[in-house]
Chain A
């Protein structure tokens, strides 16, 4: 197996695991959002690097060039990046509201308070 040739996939796996671990292991809501962002970024890189064809030029019509990189994954990921930004914004807004309601954004404190709540 060509290890260096697949370096993009190794980067993807590394980022994916880092982000995923942060989401699972961290209790701070802001850190969870950062973890989610890293996790999403790994998926973006997976798509973007798949569009690259070695020895091909950028996908702009030009004379004397027949081999183009694939622009479609880039377009798809533009959408996914927008989704990621929107998710981050909503997540942070919710974190602000949670802090207003509970005075904390630390998961273990929140779970305690939640369980102590009567009737809900």
Chain B
């Protein structure tokens, strides 16, 4: 079999493994199966990406070429995102096993089955070249995510999951309506065909309304300010492994869908006619400032990082709003980098919750002496979030500021700097508690976490520095991807 024939298996393997996983008894077997299928998916994507960067890979399901059949179309952009998701899954699963054992003690087969469905859904959204297929995978991943969030141990977990369900379903239905309208206007659902046929009907109100519906629908999924209300609750109350996985993958995939539909399907000319850049610029700026301020106010460490995620989505929206190769490649690089740093940060916080038992910031008091490795990892990943040189965060902010200056947009530069200062405040809040405050009574017995929790965490911290120094993979692939999205030949 050639690599092209293997490519769809990066979605199919986890999808097929999920029902088997649900039937497996005990704790070891379901985890092992999940681990094997997610790793296989990552290996496949690692082989796919170099070829996809050269020329788009197209796989026709059942040998039916589009427009009749559904195709998977992988190029530099979605190959890159697909590899990112699969790698994050591979790193998070071994880490998650320990916390899942405590938080979801029973029926772990079902838990890992849902995890696999969510993973397969995200991979499917990324690889498919069919607009309706995106909706189907979106719902596969969303429905399993709602249930995963509800598995959290806190009393509020089902409530957060319900709120996420309402917002998520509204978003998906908005997307569906948008797709319906463009299907009515063009008679096709294949993204490449849509891109060819849409310019002819670009002036019609139906297509413009469809654009609005799709943007709002995906905006809900990616938690773009002011559509972010579901995110803090869902992230704060979900089981630790789910929080880490969602924070590093779910919003990234939504951003990818946005980029793909806006730039490949609707096209640059159409986007320039619509107030897309202005709206994203304003929402991005407000999102960065407000969400960072809210993050500073939080007393719950998980919720603090969740608000920080909303702010990071703001950076991505700001980067996209420049509608330039520099801007979009900055957005893509930040997407990759944010997955690395937010996964590392959430892992540290969730490890502390595992050891200490409370997510409030006062629980971190004096932990620097009790759990030095965890808290050092937190500080290093935090520096990356702030954007200190040698870390990936610095690369993201550098590219973003460069893209802003290309357009002479000094206001955006100032906003990025203020956002970074606020990040110093909210990361500093936890770091200060851990390193400078005295250990409270009753916390004397707390020990460093076990290696199974520390290793994946430090692997991600190391990646934060590795990709901060060697930017060949991220920056180059992202630039190629951005050029492809905007239709500029390299």
Contact = CB atoms under 8 A, between A and B. Distances in A.
A79 to B, nearest CB: 6
Contact of A43 (B143, B165, B180, B299): B180
A102 B159 contact: yes
Interface residues of B, number: 35
Contacts of B176: 40, 43, 47, 80
Nearest to A92: B162
B302 to A, nearest CB: 9
Contacts of B359: 119-120
Given A39-B173, A46-B180, A119-B358, A83 B139 contact: yes
Interface in A87-120: 87, 90-91, 94-95, 97-98, 101-102, 110, 114, 117, 119-120
Contact of B156 (A16, A86, A95, A117): A117
Contact of A50 (B143, B155, B158, B184): B184
Given A40-B169, A117-B155, A80 B162 contact: no
B136 interface: yes
Contacts of B146: 90, 94
Interface in B99-158: 132, 135-136, 139, 143, 146-147, 150, 154-156, 158
Interface string A49-62: 01000000000000
Contacts of A102: 155, 159
Interface in A6-38: 16, 20, 23, 29, 32, 36
B156 A114 contact: yes
B57 to A, nearest CB: 25
A101 B170 contact: no
Contacts of A50: 180, 183-184
Contacts of B156: 101, 114, 117, 120
B166 interface: yes
A63 to B, nearest CB: 24
Contacts of A110: 159
Nearest to B159: A98
A91 B155 contact: no
Given A95-B162, A98-B159, A87 B136 contact: no
B147 A90 contact: yes
Nearest to B360: A119
Contacts of A23: 166, 170
Nearest to A50: B184
Contacts of A117: 155-156
Contact of B162 (A29, A43, A119): A29
A118 B252 CA distance: 32
B46 interface: no
A76 interface: yes
A43 B173 contact: yes
B64 to A, nearest CB: 13
Interface of B: 132, 135-136, 139, 143, 146-147, 150, 154-156, 158-159, 161-162, 165-166, 169-170, 172-173, 176-177, 180-181, 183-184, 189, 236-237, 299-300, 358-360
Interface of A: 16, 20, 23, 29, 32, 36, 39-40, 42-43, 46-47, 50, 73, 76, 79-80, 83, 86-87, 90-91, 94-95, 97-98, 101-102, 110, 114, 117, 119-120
List 10 A-B pairs, minimum CB-CB distance, nearest first.
A97-B158, A94-B162, A119-B360, A83-B139, A50-B184, A101-B155, A46-B180, A43-B176, A94-B158, A98-B158
24 contacts: A20-B170, A32-B166, A36-B173, A39-B170, A39-B173, A40-B169, A46-B177, A47-B183, A50-B184, A79-B132, A79-B136, A83-B172, A86-B139, A90-B165, A91-B166, A94-B146, A94-B159, A94-B161, A101-B156, A110-B159, A117-B156, A119-B300, A120-B154, A120-B155
